[in-house]
Chains A and B, each alone.
Chain A
Amino acid sequence: MLLQVRNLRCGYGSLEVVRGISLHVRAGEVVGLLGANGAGKTTLLKAIVGLLPPWRGEIRMAGRPIQRQPAWRSVSHSMVLVPEGRMIFADLTVRENLQVGGYHNPDRALHLDLVLDRFPRLRERLHQLGGTLSGGEQQMLALGRALMARPRLLLLDEPSMGLAPLLVKEVFAEIRRMTESGLTVLVVEQNAVATLHIADRAYVMETGEIILEGQAGDLLHNPEVKRAYLGKGHSAPNA
């Protein structure tokens, strides 16, 4: 078990957003975490990497408890978050963005080449400022920047956000391809269909709790998924 979350509770102020969530990710898997806006998916990711202190519960990475660690330590636990909205360093060049990503990687010069081989578009844009890239290119840069740290577990927050449907397909295909080199991925998404097409397993979250889990293929045909994806009170007509 690479990542194990047990009974996690956290939130902002007195508002509990994640209400006792348990999930796990095995090495080499792509796991989807689906749910509508406000279900608590991003909050959960923040708690996993340490950007938000958990109130209760346990987070283990490769068996080691990490729930009291600050966010900057998450990289030394071989996990990297690709934040929502990509959060490219707009005033740094593509190259510098990647170098910052490899901040803790002593072989970052060598690794830069490997990442650029994977994303040839970034090589063309190497000296351009991050903020001048298109949405799709920025997402590629965010992925490349995360890979620079040589993580075992990649945590993706809404990688499809703000991308045209064609680009979503391209980005998701790239995410699937990354697992071929041994990477494990936990992807948080509103776009359930795209996620289920590349994931092995998935969890469905609603108002801070997990209401469904299963193999991606099964969930894809589950009428509950549609309902949960659209949120409470928006049941699909044939559900």
Chain B
Amino acid sequence: MTRLAKSWLPFAALAAIAVFVQRILPTAHLTQITMSLYYAIVVMGLCLVMGYAGQVSMGHGAFFAIGGYTTAVLTTYNFAPWKQSGWAGLLRQLHVLVLKEDLYGGELLTTTPWTAFVVAMLLTFVAAHLIGYPALRLKGHYLAMATLGFGLIVHKLVLGSTLTGSADGITAVPPWNLGLGLVVSGKRVVRVQNYYIAVVLVLLLLLVLRNLVQSRVGRAFQAIHNREAAANAMGINTSAFKLKAFVASALLAALAGVFFTHYAGGISPSEAGAIKSVRYLALAAASGMANLWGAAVVSTAINFGSLRGWFGSLDQAVFGALLILIISLAPEGPLKPAGLWLQRALGWLVPTRPAAPFPTAPATPGAAPRAGE
């Protein structure tokens, strides 16, 4: 197999699985898979921070919530009382605000989803820098503590503020028209379409992240994770790199939050809870940390089970048991041994060339596909 084919094979396989899943599952179940795919994006971002930059974030639920709540607040807040003012007119012309009718024929002047998306990303960018900059200049796991505190603050803020709907959260978030006839919305007619929007988004981000970790930047990440002092001596600005990884993963979490909120039509404070952050963290660990494919597949599968309610009220317990099983049986993530097993099975079914008496090609651990590739 050529190298090119090999590097595209996982994408083709994942796309094939996605189509297969859509064919066999009842359409109603696609809703939960779509949500799980958005959650998987958060876990993929955490893989970058944990597996490649060697840092732990306990606040990714908060970044997801920042994304979700920003778009929810902006796209539902009614600016109609200021309709006549100059700035509102200007913003309408710039397509920042849009005038609609609500259910009862009242006027509704709200922010467009695209604008809300940009604002959400900018807010997250600033927040991630504010948390990450001081915490990552210190050695050790200060980031974990800082993000834990940050997550608790965000959770209390969205719970306590009327702007974010307090304990009820925000509902009636409008669909997000992406253009090209694509609409992010949970309506039944676009359920299949939305499933594929999520699948393509995950595949696209996997592609971007894979290219990132295989580049010079990715090697630098691995060097930092391996031996920070030595990476420093090689001229790598380790704290700047860790900050970039952290900010990038926070942006991914917020991106997932924005898509999720438009898809679900709302967001509730539980999305910002510490338990959610811990769950993302645990899923990243169970996926093998530096294993982006694992993150996408494992996290989607486990979250799907939870959202379908397979485990009922025992959900958290089953989740915990699954994590213990995965981490003790396959510490590098379940995809790795499964892949090796598949390779062996294929080799047994399709005998290739007879083994050379002396290995000419480098038959070493380094030649085997490594985590995250």
Contact = CB atoms under 8 A, between A and B. Distances in A.
Interface of A: 49, 51, 70-76, 80-83, 87-94, 96, 99-101, 103-104, 126-129, 132, 145, 149
Label chain A's interface by main secondary structure: mixed
B362 A127 contact: yes
Contacts of B233: 49, 51, 71, 74-75, 80-83, 87
Most buried by A among B220, B233, B237, B367: B233
A100 B228 CA distance: 12
B235 A83 contact: no
Contacts of A127: 362, 364, 366-367
Given A89-B226, A103-B220, A149 B234 contact: yes
Given A51-B229, A91-B226, A96-B222, A70 B237 contact: yes
Most buried by A among B227, B238, B362: B227
Nearest to A108: B216
Nearest to B222: A92
B1 to A, nearest CB: 17
A72 B229 contact: no
21 contacts: A49-B233, A51-B233, A70-B232, A71-B229, A72-B236, A72-B237, A72-B238, A74-B233, A74-B235, A75-B234, A75-B235, A83-B229, A87-B230, A89-B230, A90-B226, A92-B223, A99-B216, A103-B236, A128-B365, A129-B364, A132-B365
Contact of B234 (A51, A93, A103): A103
B238 A100 contact: no
B223 A100 contact: yes
Nearest to A50: B232
Interface residues of B, number: 23
Interface of B: 216, 219-220, 222-223, 225-227, 229-238, 362, 364-367
A126 B234 CA distance: 19
B365 A87 contact: no
Nearest to A75: B235
Contact of A51 (B216, B222, B227, B232): B232
A75 B233 CA distance: 7
Contact of B222 (A76, A80, A91, A132): A91
B35 to A, nearest CB: 34
Contacts of A128: 362, 364-366
Contact of B229 (A87, A90, A99): A87
B366 A103 contact: no
Contacts of B237: 70, 72
A92 B226 contact: yes
A126 B366 CA distance: 9
Contact of B220 (A81, A88, A100): A100
B362 to A, nearest CB: 4
A126 B362 contact: yes
Given A89-B226, A91-B226, A96-B219, A145 B232 contact: no
A162 B222 CA distance: 26
Task: Across the A-B interface, give the 5 residue pairs with the lowest CB-CB distance, nearest first.
Answer: A75-B235, A87-B230, A93-B366, A127-B362, A89-B226
Contacts of A93: 366
Contacts of A94: 366
B231 to A, nearest CB: 7
B365 A129 contact: yes
A49 B216 CA distance: 23
Given A87-B233, A103-B236, A127-B366, 11 more contacts: A49-B233, A51-B233, A71-B229, A72-B235, A72-B238, A96-B222, A103-B235, A127-B367, A129-B364, A129-B366, A149-B234
Most buried by A among B231, B366, B367: B366
Contacts of A126: 362
Contacts of B362: 126-128
A88 B231 CA distance: 10
A97 B219 CA distance: 8
B318 to A, nearest CB: 32
A126 B367 CA distance: 10
Contacts of B234: 75, 80, 100-101, 103, 145, 149
B210 to A, nearest CB: 16
A72 B222 contact: no
Contact of B231 (A49, A70, A100, A132): A100
A233 B137 CA distance: 42
Contacts of A90: 226-227
B219 A92 contact: yes
Contacts of B226: 89-92
A145 B226 CA distance: 15
Nearest to A89: B226
Contacts of A73: 235
A87 B235 contact: no
A83 B230 contact: yes
A91 B367 CA distance: 12
A72 B229 CA distance: 9
B215 to A, nearest CB: 10
A100 B219 contact: yes
A194 B222 CA distance: 35
A76 B233 CA distance: 11
Contacts of A132: 364-365
A90 B362 CA distance: 18
Contacts of A88: 227, 230
